Amino acid sequence: MVAGAESGAMARAPQLLSIPMRHFLEVAQTGSVNQAAARLHVAPSAVSRQIARLEDEMGTPLFERRTRGMTPTAAGERLAAYLRHAVADGLQALEQASALGRVQAQRVCVACTEGFAPQFMPGVMQSFRDAYGDARLELRVGSPDEVARWLLRGEADLGLKYSVAPEAELHVEYEAPAPVYAVLAPEHPLARHMAVEVAQVVAFPLYLGSRGMTTRQLFDQACSLQGLRYVAAFESNFSSVLLPLLRMPGIVLSGHLTVAHLIADGTVVARPFAEAPLQQRRLRLLSLPGRTPTEPVRAFATHLAQAIQAVGRRKLGRARRAASARVSVSSNRSG
């Protein structure tokens, strides 16, 4: 389904849903009988009758009627999710069988959180374009919750984000450990350590993402367990702005993938935390379960997973070279 066109998809595929189901899904999407009626070009009373008939047939309420609109019940949420998936699959099959489908089949829409957007994802998408010149690529950037919603609504084919909990409604195409790192200048006092501790880090100015971000959640959890307090020197809900602001002796909390390009050019170093809570995060490439991906989507998922693995191999190589250099220095001193 093309981005932001869920209601348009309903209008283009009337054969996929009955009238009551179409009316129900529009109300679930808009939260309003009047808005749903306007989109469907029918009277609000007609929408209300169809919803009441559907609830009567199913024997359960599908909405909570509130002064500010209609909120789906648990049963309504489940039905709406099923219908969205069915419509997305149905539209994909119809489009692929038509002239529009021959063009649309080359589209790959990827959603990611903003930490991946400035550097990592553009490089991955460009290298994919070099290999698959006919592919039409779209990148959506949002919060972790927005990435999940776009996938569940069929508005994105793949989603890349950090997770600290299972993704119950989504299929994991690929995942890897994604611990939180302390990112600092090469001359920083903590740069000589192989790993850092939370108690050491809170002694320095901290440049932090807002409290809804996974790095901040895990860091705050580790501080709470140790009874540590801190005051952020700078914080933002847009993590990419933190790195350009970083100055000695400050520290940014980040995932390795987000700062790999800065590590490669020697601008910063990244040190893992010793504490277990900061090692619990996962990097996940997600898709909608039950949906048959097109060939370009399958190819891009493989390409993206390989790009993530390549960054991991480079990180491991740097760690081994650094360890070898320390052993060499130690041996020279002993001699």
Q: What is the pLDDT of residues 199-252, one digit of tens each?
A: 999 999 999 998 888 999 999 999 999 999 999 999 998 888 898 888 999 999
How high is the pLDDT of residue 230?
Answer: 95
Tokens of 213: 């971000």
pTM for the model stands at: 0.66
Say which residue, 323 or 79, is predicted with more confidence: 79
The values of phi and psi at residue 270, to 5°, are: -125, 130
Q: Which residues contact 126 (CB under 8 A, 6 or more apart)?
A: none
pLDDT tens per residue, range 42-69: 999 999 999 999 999 999 999 999 888 8
Of 16, 7, 54, 4, nearest to 35 by C-alpha is: 7
Q: Give the pairing type, strands 107-113 and 234-236.
A: unpaired
CB atoms within 10 A of CB 229: 8
Is the CB of residue 179 less than 8 Å from the CB of residue 259? Answer: no
At 114-132, the pLDDT tens digits run 999 988 999 999 999 988 8
Domains of the chain in start order, with CATH, are 1-95 (1.10.10.10), 106-169+284-329 (3.40.190.10), 179-280 (3.40.190.290)
- Distance separating alpha carbons of residues 100 and 52, to the nearest angstrom: 37
CA separation for the pair 72, 335 (Å, rounded): 74
Q: Which two tokens stand for residue 163?
A: 């997770």
How confident is the prediction for the chain on average, in pLDDT?
A: 86
pLDDT at 8: 47
pLDDT given at position 199: 97
The token pair at 98 is 């038509």
Task: Give the pairing type, strands 63-66 and 69-72.
Answer: antiparallel
